[in-house]
Structure 1
Amino acid sequence: MAPLKLKLTKHQAPPRRLDGTNLTWWNSPIKILDPLEKLVREVTDWKKLSNPDDISILKNYDGMLFTCDIEIGDPPTRFSIVPDTGSSNLWVMADSCLDCEVEGCRTEDEEFLKDDCVASQSKVTRCHNFYQRSASTTSQIVTDETGSHKTFSIQYGSGETAGMVTRDKVKFGSWEIKDQTFGEAQQGATFRQLPFDGIMGLAFKSISVDKMDPVFDNIALGNTEQGMSLSKLPIHPETDREYRSQKQYSCFAFYLSKDECRAHSQLHIGNFDRGCYAKDEELHFVPLSSRTYWAFNVSSIIVAEDNMEAVEFGDRRGKGEWKNASDITELQKLHPNMLPPKSFPDNILEDVINNNNKDFATRYSDPMLLCDDCKAIADSGTSLIAGPSDDIGALNLILGTNEYGMVACDEIRPNVHVVLKNEKGEDRIFTLTPDDYILRFQGETVVECMSGFQTLDAGFWILGDVFMRKFYTVFDQGNERVGFATANESC
């Protein structure tokens, strides 16, 4: 059986502001497992393919959310779920859920496509599909130590989902897991207006609520109808003669397209696709720091206008001369993480202090250090890049964001460089330009822009879809590492 490629289709949806007028999707939670961030992604539902066993569809809702289809039970019920590397549990809404559905919701047949690459989202919430245990001949109740039906509860930013633990047949692409443990959600108010039916965690079992086996664990271990476990990916797959592109390995990968009309986004299960990233690059594999989230160490995150090749990693704080102690105090009030600046032209320092000139850093300063030997996770279930409030606050101040995260679309802004060390101890720089991290949306009359950086005080950074759209990302479970390389325009 060849590796599975799941196709993603982008759906346009107008975001909403925090003030309720139009545009913002953060600060409304759907994220799993406290203490992660509070984000909401605008969603619609799925478009069927003629051969769902070979290709399933994932959907990208304004770059905010991806879903794919799974089937549960016999006879099977199809569910639209979020494949999330930031959590580990599988759950779907149950027919006993009292607060999952919205009155007046639309059925799947009411969705329509504007063209082949962009789908229109109705203003009416999509009706959910529900799991009905009594209708499945292969369902099994999971009991606790008292013999009662076992329960589960997962906490989210603004609520929780909870229900019963069940075991049943799950079909994911061409894989069929005979006895997959999952949650039947009986509480769904947090998600009822978001048109997906559940979430499929792709992180490790150690953070799984009630230690339910993650779906990919069962696939990798061979707990499927096929009964074949997956081999480890070769350490250097691009150069290893034993590597085979049509062989299945214990890994999966995300390709998030910048232009869905040119190339669909994809989720690859069981291997990666060499055609999805630059020919002159090899995957840069970063070892995991723990088998929890897909967590790893980050050498540094630096904001700089100049080419990062000029930065000496052994001395990231620069050698510029401060004017005097009072100037240091004033500048640090404006930009706490700013590194020593270069010599300012006449009157620039006065302009910076008196007028709070937010773009001075991009023109007259040395690099700004946001992170020095910190931790991060790669998370397909997070839309933005999230980090500590002090660091993101300083960065967004330079970017000129307002209280809703909106920015002017035409200003000059710096690059953001993420430096990652591979298994050999070699650093590679992953550069995000303003075109990568400033998100553009068509407003009612004009194009509007917002920052792709979000505050989150969780003790680590989250490299979400903004980062993964620029860099093809391989989650190598067998070798406990994550690989990155510059994504191609098409795949």
Structure 2
Amino acid sequence: MHLIAATVLTLTLVSICAANVINAPVSQAKNPIWRTGNVPRQLRPFKPNLRPLRQKSKHPILPIRKPEQAPTKRRFYERPKKPQHKFYEWPAQYLRQDNEQPVRDYRVTATARDIQLTNFYDILYHGPISIGTPEQSFNVTFNTASPRTWVPSVHSIPDYNNSKFKTYNNKTSSTYIPNGFGFEASYGEGKVAGYLSQDNINIAGLTARNQIFGEAIVESDIFEDTTNHGVLGLGLSDEEPTVFDNMVERGLLPAPVFSFYLNRLNSNDPDSVLTLGGTNPAYYVGDFTFADVTVPDSWQFKMDRIQFSNGTGIFNGWGCQAVVDSSTPLIIGPKEEVDVLNRKLGGTPLSGDETMYELDCSEVDGLPDVEFIVNGKKLSMSSKDYVVKMHVGTDSLCYSGILGSSWKQNESPVWILGMSFMRVYYTQFDKGNKRIGFAKAITFEHAILNK
């Protein structure tokens, strides 16, 4: 579609250009807008009479604008800069609009990339990323429950600017772009707050340019006890473009899919891996069981029911909702249902804590499998997968890894399938088809047989 050229040599050329405008389905805007690539050149002043054309046409004619009004290219996801730091959500006018398309980077071959993750005592898995130019390195948790990405700022309170904690210094990065809006995020009992910035974020040799992320200046004490330097958000969001979205839209990945393989601590299983751009058949066996995402802003899906392999106990026979969360160590469910389930396993609530249940270690091996029915298929977990064993001196303590909670999402109780579930099932998150897939994760025994 062409706008009327500002330079014409004959009246015939004027009529042709006008006809192109008439046939174009252009909506009238309050202020005239140039479309990318249609920047006319003006050799001499000329103002055609468009009134007769407007009267005959069903579509409005956009008025000509002066060449100096032609827009310049905006950076990917660039927001107007505001020198304020208030904690509120991004206003709609600063969110990416549908007509803002990122520039695809054709210099990079779109192939799936594996990122090796480190298992930190089975309570979190973190991997390397870098931010800025020159690159500043961090170990972050890859979190499927939130789209937010953040790292500690050099201005953090308390001061984490020491050898133990890595911090981001925007003054040393030549690709830093200030943003100015504030952010805050909650992770169970942990909270962080700070302000948003833009910079290049690199993962496994792929660069998400001009990506918005958070510089955390206030963090809860719980973050002091880990080797984690921040969070990279992989959650679903139509409003907050994630690092993964950035890479997909730039053509850096072959498919809008990422997948997790999580190993067990102190095992001979292969190293944990996050695959961007697809799945890696080396880490799972059999076919995938898929479930469609049921809400637009979360990796939530419908679970048919939960049952025991020995035929006793059927919970949520009418169906329930569940989310897969790569940042939650265990499995969490509605308190009342978890209470029934754990009591059938012989569990006893801990004194003063109705969310955790102690089990008899001598009976753990005889406990039935817990089966999560998804799309008619059984996803089973044995007692070695859902029981947590602790050794205190010469004594052993056993607890159920299925905890109760009053947490709700969209006012409805939801099951959270955390890392203990993901260690059993290789999980793919297919954003293109809005679905989640589960396949049996390989173990050391599988790896030996496949060699």
Q: TM bucket by the smaller chain?
A: 0.5 to 0.7
Shift of the alpha carbon at 1:448?
Answer: 3.1
Q: Is 1:217 the counterpart of 2:224 in the alignment?
A: no
| Distance in 2, Cα, partners of 1:380 & 1:100 | 28
Aligned ranges for residues 203-242 of structure 1 at < 5 Å?
A: 203-206=235-238, 211-222=239-250, 228=251, 230=253
On the 8 A contact 1:285/1:481 being kept in 2, the answer is yes
**What is the one-letter code of the residue matched to 2:290?**
F
Shift of the alpha carbon at 1:161?
Answer: 1.2
Shift of the alpha carbon at 1:407?
Answer: 2.2
Q: Is 1:135 the counterpart of 2:172 in the alignment?
A: yes
- Matched with 1:443 is 392
**What is the one-letter code of the residue matched to 2:276?**
I
- Matched with 1:367 is 313
On the 8 A contact 1:384/1:453 being kept in 2, the answer is yes
Q: How many pairs does the alignment contain?
A: 320
**What is the one-letter code of the residue matched to 1:434?**
S
- Matched with 1:478 is 432
| Distance in 2, Cα, partners of 1:159 & 1:470 | 27
- Matched with 1:254 is 260
- Structure possessing the higher radius of gyration over alpha carbons: 2
Q: Is 1:420 the counterpart of 2:448 in the alignment?
A: no
- Matched with 2:69 is none
> For structure 2, which runs of at least 5 residues remain unmatched after alignment?
1-88, 90-111, 351-355
Q: 228, 231, 234: which is aligned to 1:202?
A: 234
| Distance in 1, Cα, partners of 2:391 & 2:248 | 42
- Matched with 1:158 is 189
CA RMSD of aligned residues (A): 2.3
Q: Is 1:465 the counterpart of 2:411 in the alignment?
A: no
Shift of the alpha carbon at 1:56?
Answer: 4.4
> For structure 1, which runs of at least 5 residues remain unmatched after alignment?
1-32, 34-52, 108-126, 143-148, 223-227, 231-247, 307-365, 422-426
**What is the one-letter code of the residue matched to 2:249?**
L
Q: Which has the higher strand share?
A: 2
* C-alpha distance after superposition, 1:433-489 (max 9, x if no partner): 212111223433244322110112222111111111111111111111111111121
- Matched with 2:270 is 263
Q: TM-score, normalised by structure 2?
A: 0.67
Aligned ranges for residues 165-176 of structure 1 at < 5 Å?
A: 165-176=196-207
| Distance in 2, Cα, partners of 1:56 & 1:268 | 6
Shift of the alpha carbon at 1:54?
Answer: 7.4
| Distance in 1, Cα, partners of 2:390 & 2:278 | 33
| Distance in 2, Cα, partners of 1:387 & 1:295 | 14
Q: 334, 339, 351: which is aligned to 1:393?
A: 339
Aligned ranges for residues 334-413 of structure 1 at < 5 Å?
A: 366-370=312-316, 372-399=318-345, 400-403=347-350, 405-411=357-363, 412-413=366-367
Task: Quote the sequence identity (%).
Answer: 28
| Distance in 2, Cα, partners of 1:370 & 1:432 | 17
| Distance in 1, Cα, partners of 2:403 & 2:249 | 36
Shift of the alpha carbon at 1:370?
Answer: 4.4
- Matched with 2:283 is 276
3-state SS of 1:151 partner: strand
Shift of the alpha carbon at 1:304?
Answer: 4.1
* C-alpha distance after superposition, 1:250-294 (max 9, x if no partner): 11111122364332121111111223222xx31111111122111
**What is the one-letter code of the residue matched to 2:344?**
I
Q: Which has the higher contact order (CA 8 A, sep 6+)?
A: 1
Q: 85, 88, 101: which is aligned to 2:160?
A: 101
Aligned ranges for residues 24-35 of structure 1 at < 5 Å?
A: none
